[in-house]
Structure 1
């Protein structure tokens, strides 16, 4: 991921592509939609194929018409706190943009639906978004199963599925799925950061995995062992948390019994407190590593104090409760915007900062689309996302760049943070930067 000068005179590509079936899509009747086939134009930018899209995908939004943004979030179920916080962050930034006049005279309208972290409900929501809700973009769908299930619907309608939240490695592939782009590092990239850190601390050491029974765990469990072997580490038999289980003491005990040098949690963040307290009770004194879904210290680690002392996590964005960032201008602006929007209670949650930060990226895509040939169209929003060059100061490494198939990953760098009970935040214990290397890492994992 490197910054390059960009001519934004993008044009629509015109290659024939295969259709993808979808149900309930009133917007794209009679069309096979966009499921792959974009190309690089003369200026070197990737442009989506619109040859099989409905006409409105390339029709400029009418003057003064609102930009409707659909988001399907887990407002109930196991990730309800995270989903609600995401929406709070979306709301705060959207209100700020609207107060400043919107985008080229267009106000933003957020349409929120609950999917309870369930793929079937996410599909129902997506059908409504491309149908009667007529959204211009979809923002930050959470979860590999949910994104997989809804992706054909957005492709059929040629509606951008922007900045999805998944560790799946398959959701940054513009040559196959040009209408979906991922907003966080895929699991192999994050696993590489974890493996490199462990190998540096305990060369030729042993690693135990405690895995969930979900897509996140599968993504990490597929990637980490091969990367660890390549780094000279030995991976012990993984301990799997049964689906629906709320107690992981048995898995913790089994992992500790193997006396590994490091134990890695590959599960959703709601398991982090039990993981940390279980290891503390067992007297484990090796390396303790969380995945980045638990990177909000106050939300997922502090509740287990003092058990989380020294636990390490790959970080790629700032933590709003971390004292390190108390005087940081970007964090202060975020907190002020959350308060102005009446969302100050949610501002402490890392997911709220995530939602705000994804909205920042989406708004930049919309503004860039305005400047492209053809103006503010759904196709141009997607073109802008695949050819992005911006700074997000709430990120550990602010530079966010994409360049189509050559480098479709917006986030490929950050730092390793170790939790401090004294500060209630993270202390940097190293950096990781795989800019431009993600595709190779995914192949390696």
Structure 2
């Protein structure tokens, strides 16, 4: 495991002009065993405070308890998945707190239900900032992030690792206090296309099923951009408003490849619709947010067999990680806390997000700005870290000019017989494509 924060010297002026795993890294800023850490590497602020409603509050040191406020769908169809993410985060924070917190500061999650409604998310975030006094925010959904980002940036409260992938919020000039966790649709689709080019060197026909939300449109546009100049051709596109109608329409196209440009709720419904239509595409690509095998693939039976997905997290229930030290440590920590869903992939996701936050907080505490909202945002903007529950060879990479985070995936396919995902190749890393901040 390694932790490194990119030096920010020389980047501040450019930015302003342009606008854990095996051991606990949370215990007082000493690095975890086996880690290479350079906490506080950012010598200058890369985050502007001149536009803050209260610049002094952004610089104020955090003592006692650091609160992370969530506006999340705690009710409705996404509640189970969202609840598992928050449970994973709470569990990781408990491990950090048991080791003394971050320089003695304890970590707490404050969650409010928005029922996946953007307007409710906006109200929640304002309440979390003004009434609950949270120091960091997070939220689920592109629409929700769109609703809260302006207020959150004006208040200069960091929103870290937002559960969305909208390109606009990766722009540090316009949204300097916001980062996103989910992989860029453009990056993910570029990796998908790399895999398809290898499988179909002579080209292939593609059917595209598109969720009409901003997230789904992002996937669709990312795929269309990635196939430019290739022999892959979209011959039919259908909305996922009615999965059965989409499956029937796309089957009639005779396409070799089916790409689901959808959200979590589409993964199982499209699989079952394709199965009912009697269609077995030669290749069926699901989005990376559809990673939970038990709830999203197993119920579809044979219809889900062979479906491809790009993965960045280790699955503690997959036999290939049975001897992985980080996974064993994660499972032991979860068992010690009595967590009943340690194998749920969304729980792992929440744990990994919290691990990224702990790394940010630890680095901020040793930086010139200290454990303040400004120090936290600077650390998040210059973070390069390998969360132990990330697949080996996949790192989190951020810089003041390149806010992509995840730029590598490992392809897996679902085995209906074994009821698990199986590796379908090595890690595909395209970070070199973005080395110059393109």
Q: Residues 27-46 of structure 1 correspond to what in structure 2 (within 5 A)?
A: none
1:180-199 superposed matches below 5 A? 180-199=178-197
Deviation at 1:360, TM superposition (A): 0.3
Shift of residue 194 of structure 1?
A: 1.5
Q: Secondary structure at the match of 2:108?
A: strand
After TM superposition, the score normalised by the length of structure 2 is 0.87
Asked if 1:128 is matched to 2:127, the reply is yes
Structure 2 counterpart SS, 1:229: coil
Q: How does 1:7-406 map to 2 (within 5 A)?
A: 7=7, 47-53=46-52, 54=54, 55-62=56-63, 65-139=64-138, 141-202=139-200, 203-242=202-241, 245=242, 248-281=243-276, 282-344=278-340, 346-396=341-391, 397-405=393-401
Contact kept, 8 Å, 1:168 with 1:219, in 2: the verdict is yes
Deviations 1:318-341 (A, max 9, x none): 223322223322222222222333
Q: Distance in 1 between matches of 2:370 and 2:284?
A: 50
TM-aligned CA deviation for residue 131 of structure 1: 0.3
**Whole-Å Cα distance in 2 between the matches of residues 351 and 364 of structure 1?**
20
| Corresponding residue SS for 1:200 | helix
- Asked if the contact 1:413–1:434 (Cα under 8 Å) also holds between the matched residues in 2, the reply is yes
- The alpha-carbon distance between structure 1 residues 327 and 298, as it changes in their structure 2 partners (threshold 3 A), is farther
TM-score by length of 1: 0.85
**Correspondence for 1:30:** none
SS, match of residue 406 in structure 2 = coil
Q: Structure 1: any 5+ residue segments left out of the alignment?
A: 20-41
Deviations 1:221-247 (A, max 9, x none): 2221232232221102211022xx5xx
Provide the secondary structure at the position in 2 that maps to 1:235.
strand
> 2:12 touches 2:44 (CA, 8 Å); kept in 1?
no
* Contact 2:165/2:181 (8 A) holds in 1: no
CA contact (8 A) 1:173 1:408 kept: yes
Deviates more, 1:151-160 or 1:415-424: 415-424
CA spacing shift, 1:369–1:259, aligned 2, 3 Å: same
Structure 2 unaligned blocks of 5 or more: 20-40
Whole-Å Cα distance in 1 between the matches of residues 268 and 334 of structure 2? Answer: 27
Compute the displacement of 1:11 (Å): 11
Residues 322 and 426 of structure 1 are in contact (CA less than 8 Å); yes or no, is this contact kept in structure 2?
Answer: yes
The CA RMSD over aligned residues, in Å, is 2.8
CA contact (8 A) 1:16 1:51 kept: no
Deviation by residue 1:25-79 (Cα, 9 ceiling, x = unmatched): xxxxxxxxxxxxxxxxx978761011232111001124xx211110111111231
Contact 1:13–1:51 under 8 Å retained in 2: no
Q: Distance in 2 between matches of 1:333 and 1:87?
A: 19
Q: Secondary structure at the match of 1:47?
A: coil
Please tell me whether the aligned partners of residues 15 and 46 of structure 2 are also in contact (alpha carbons under 8 angstroms).
Answer: no
Question: CA offset at residue 280 of structure 1?
Answer: 3.2
Deviation at 1:167, TM superposition (A): 2.3
Distance 2:58 2:11 in 1: 13
**C-alpha distance in structure 2 between counterparts of 1:410 and 1:435, whole Å:** 10
- Structure 2: how far apart are the matches of 1:80 and 1:269? 12
Q: 1:329 to 1:58 in 2, by over 3 A?
A: same
Change (3 A) 1:255 1:46: farther
Give the C-alpha shift of residue 271 in structure 1: 2.3
Query: What is the distance in 1 between the residues matched to 2:140 and 2:337?
Result: 23
CA distance in structure 2 between the aligned counterparts of 1:301 and 1:352, rounded to whole angstroms = 17
Q: In 1, are the aligned partners of 2:158 and 2:373 still within 8 Å (CA)?
A: yes
Matched residue SS, 1:294: coil
CA distance in 1, matches of 2:18, 2:6: 30
Give the direction of change, closer, same or farther, for the CA distance of 1:261–1:378 in structure 2 (3 Å limit): same
Q: 1:148 to 1:285 in 2, by over 3 A?
A: closer
Cα offsets for 1:192-232 (capped at 9, x unmatched): 11222222212311100111221221101222123223222
Residue 370 of structure 1 and its aligned partner are, at CA, apart by 0.6
Q: Any conservation in 2 of the 1:212–1:240 contact (CA below 8 Å)?
A: yes
Partners of 1:10 and 1:94 in 2: CA distance: 34
- Larger CA deviation: 150-159 vs 195-204: 195-204
